[in-house]
Amino acid sequence: MKAFHYTSVSAEEVKVEGAKKARIRWLLAEKDGVPNFCMRLFEVEPGGCTPYHTHPWEHEVFVLEGEGEVVTDKEKAKLEPGVVVFVPPNQPHQFLNTGDKTLKFICLIPLRR
């Protein structure tokens, strides 16, 4: 078992073209011995966003704090605390902070991508 406070994991700037004012904390990853999923915490500052992108693996997202939108090639949805999002494989998507506080969300992805 492993238990720790999330702030003990460094927040890294998302260094991908199209990302703005976004950080990521790899809370649980392969380095921790997890067999199936990685757990990440995204922190997106007001006016910031993740890149608009696609990949062959799914996302499961749970919004903790802040307000924003998730945008896909087909629709968009409002983000606020308690909202759950599933992004299927190969669907273009982006998370945007539309509020005045940091948008924080947990994002799970498969370990074997």
| 21 domain-assigned | yes
| 76 domain-assigned | yes
CA 75 to each of CA 66, 89, 93, 111: distance values in angstroms, whole numbers, following the listed order: 20, 15, 10, 27
Q: Which pLDDT does position 79 carry in this prediction?
A: 98
The string of pLDDT tens digits covering residues 71-106 is: 999 999 999 999 999 999 999 999 999 999 999 999
| 97 domain-assigned | yes
Report the alpha-carbon distance of residue 46 to residue 39 in Å, rounded.
23
| 31 domain-assigned | yes
Over residues 42-53, the mean pLDDT reads 98
| 29 domain-assigned | yes
The string of pLDDT tens digits covering residues 18-40 is: 999 999 999 999 999 999 999 99
Report the alpha-carbon distance of residue 62 to residue 15 in Å, rounded.
22
Report the alpha-carbon distance of residue 110 to residue 53 in Å, rounded.
17
| 22 domain-assigned | yes
| CATH number of domain containing 96 | 2.60.120.10
Q: Quick one: pLDDT band at residue 112, thresholds 50, 70, 90?
A: confident
Structural domain span for residue 60: 11-40+51-81+88-110
| 2 domain-assigned | no
Domain count, the chain: 1
Q: Which pLDDT does position 90 carry in this prediction?
A: 97
| 17 domain-assigned | yes
